[in-house]
Chains A and B, each alone.
Chain A
């Protein structure tokens, strides 16, 4: 096992899948010669050549559209949107075709493609480079929406996404790209899509999140233990859609209290869906209203005000305490 960053872990997943299966191709802006603006695809073009690691013209809808054609043909395209804030251009192709061709053709055609994009804030970026719109993809029947939180699960989930027979949108938390290193096994490892993970066992309150906010959530869990003697149970969704509610509904039946955390704006965000499932399935066990600690319903501010927008450890701690003292 080697310790590596999320960038390196994703690179490992791509390299190994491309070695294993020559139908896997990578395409996007600057992914080839430049190795990706975050260097995620660094070295791939040297190993696999420009026909398999494709530097495309600057056209997101085009990238998504040709990926659909490639996938129908029988390739396994892993396309990149340079930043999730530019994937809106690809949305039409993904919603109108990628998500529908299996259904439209009644199973004759499939679209086993992956669309990867760095998402989320916390890196002092320009406008459009800190977006968190996973809800748009989660709300699209026919697509899957996956968001890793650490190097090891990023690698394992991406392998599953590439092998998935249906289109997967894979958002990579850019704030985590180089934030820390984790042991990632060289040997192949996968995590099934559609399964959430228990990250910390507890009794008193359930904290649910995904992506970059898993880290302030885990910090808040530590502080709750240290300062308040509270044992928080922490769940990492890993897949936003299809949403696995079995783990968190069971957890809240045990704890009676839940705090949901995401960067995405509050209204109509993934948290709202989690609340709905908890009400559907764990209603009688709730001891307090379900708290959402999220971004606000505004465009994420430029970096002088970004910290107060993001759901950080303090806000999560406060929400957990309020839930516990209800």
Chain B
């Protein structure tokens, strides 16, 4: 009997709407309200400027190691689709998405400045904290989405992760579980081409990362990750599908890590400046600014105005953060939130630290 081809659902498509020359495909232009377009632009500028400021603060020793987001600002296009009760499940390079959703800039500074308080999320904000172990948070999004489906809700859980995460076992387990249970999850892979020093081509032999979803019978779409309109359109499709009970989706957002992996990394050791420059020309903010100017939604004055506003916002956040961190952190607070109720032996340890601190205080006096 001759071999029979088995028809599999889905193919991988590439979506680009606003290219690096700011040329827009009118047939694909999404219907985004004008106010939202400007809000997206402002958010991207804020993210870029705040990220630059954070780098300066880190080099000054005022905050510690963090992962810069330069080049990946268009991620806000995806979270723009989320309702307040939806869930954001970030990795560690989603400051723009977190801030869009309501995370305060001073909280970001607190976290990377070594204060556990920076991890506290307000009660009305469904953002999980930053997840550092690569890929592991994808499973949490599946669990959240299962809960939503179990309670017959219309919300979605949106998980972010990088190209490196697609090599981790948890990523595969998450996509598998999500598709077996058909949960309202959206998986967004920020393929920024680098996992520290490992280039995308050495992370996976697959032609695309989007096709990995097809193995789990899940739609996978590759988008120009520097095109906020395409990111928005792709996320809208995925979020609508999830809300309608159509199950999970995977989006590979093809972007570039213009800066270093973290502030403790030196990219010159493993990549060439020419490659970075090539991608810098595909900057998501430059093309979007041109597009909005072209549509009359921005002017040279409003661009300058937004730049000033953003700097003022950052400055105010820094001032609040400086006031919050005026007094040294109380080490006794390290015992907070270990459990709902501290067990006796842990309370003994806390007491021990208290006595040691008091003794040090007495000696000092």
Q: Which residues of A contact B (CB under 8 A)?
A: 25, 51, 54, 56-57, 59, 61-62, 64-75, 77, 92-93, 96-97, 101-110, 141-142, 144, 165-166, 194, 242-246
User: In the complex, which residues of chain B have a beta carbon less than 8 angstroms from the beta carbon of A102?
Assistant: 337-340
B337 and A106 contact, CB distance less than 8 A? yes
Complex contact B177–A165 (CB within 8 A): no
Name B86-124 residues within 8 Å CB distance of A.
116-117, 119-123
Of the residues B117, B119, B129, B344, contact of A242 by C-beta under 8 Å: B344
Q: Which residue of A lies closest to B346 (CB)?
A: A242
A69-B340 CB under 8 A given contacts A92-B136, A105-B120: no
Instruction: Please name 11 further chain A to chain B contacts, defined as beta carbons within 8 Å, in addition to the given A62-B176, A65-B174, A110-B340, sorted by A numbering.
Output: A56-B177, A59-B176, A59-B177, A69-B141, A71-B143, A97-B137, A101-B128, A104-B116, A106-B119, A106-B120, A194-B343
Chain B: residues with Cβ within 8 Å of the partner, total of 43
Query: Chain A residues with Cβ under 8 A from B181's Cβ?
Result: 54
Closest-by-CB residue of A relative to B120 is A106
Q: Is the CB of B136 within 8 A of A65?
A: yes
State whether B146 touches A97 (Cβ < 8 A).
no
Residues of B contacting A142 in the complex (Cβ-Cβ under 8 angstroms): 338-339
Q: Is B180 interfacial (CB-CB < 8 Å)?
A: yes
A71 to chain B, nearest CB (A): 7
Which residues of B lie under 8 Å from residue A166 when comparing CB positions?
339-340
Report the separation of the CA atoms of residues A245 and B346 in the bound assembly, to the nearest whole angstrom: 12
The smallest beta-carbon distance between B189 and chain A, in angstroms, is 17
Across-interface contacts of B343 in A (CB, < 8 A)? 194, 242
Which B-chain residue is minimally distant from A60 (CB atoms)?
Answer: B173
Interface of A is mostly: mixed
Residues of A within 8 A of B337 (CB): 102-103, 105-107
Q: A62-B173, A62-B176, A102-B339 are in contact. Are A108 and B139 (CB under 8 A)?
A: no
* Chain B contacts for A73, CB-based, 8 A: 143-144, 146-148
The answer to whether B170 has its CB under 8 Å from any CB of chain A is: yes
**Choice from A65, A69, A72, A108 contacting B173 with Cβ under 8 Å:** A65
Q: Are A62 and B139 in contact (CB under 8 A)?
A: yes
Which chain B residues border A109 with CB–CB below 8 Å? Answer: 121, 128-129
B336 at the A/B interface (Cβ < 8 Å)?
yes
Q: Which residue of B lies closest to A74 (CB)?
A: B147
State the CA gap A242–B143 with chains docked (Å).
Answer: 27
A148 → chain B, closest Cβ, in Å? 19
**Residue contact A69 to B345, C-beta cutoff 8 Å:** no
Is B150 engaged at the interface, CB distance under 8 Å to the other chain? yes
Chain A residues whose CB sits within 8 angstroms of the CB of B346 once the complex forms: 242
25 CB < 8 A contacts A-B:
A57-B176, A59-B177, A62-B170, A62-B174, A65-B143, A66-B142, A68-B140, A69-B140, A69-B142, A69-B143, A69-B144, A69-B157, A70-B144, A97-B133, A101-B128, A101-B129, A102-B340, A103-B337, A105-B121, A107-B336, A108-B120, A108-B121, A109-B121, A109-B128, A109-B129
Whether the pair A104, B147 counts as a contact (CB closer than 8 A) is no
Question: What residues of chain B lie closer than 8 Å to A59, measured between beta carbons?
Answer: 173, 176-177
**Pairwise interchain contact A93-B136, C-beta atoms closer than 8 A:** yes
Interface residues as binary, B149-190 with A (CB distance below 8 Å gives 1, 0 otherwise): 010000001000000000001100110110011000000000
Distance of A109 Cα from B147 Cα, bound (Å): 15
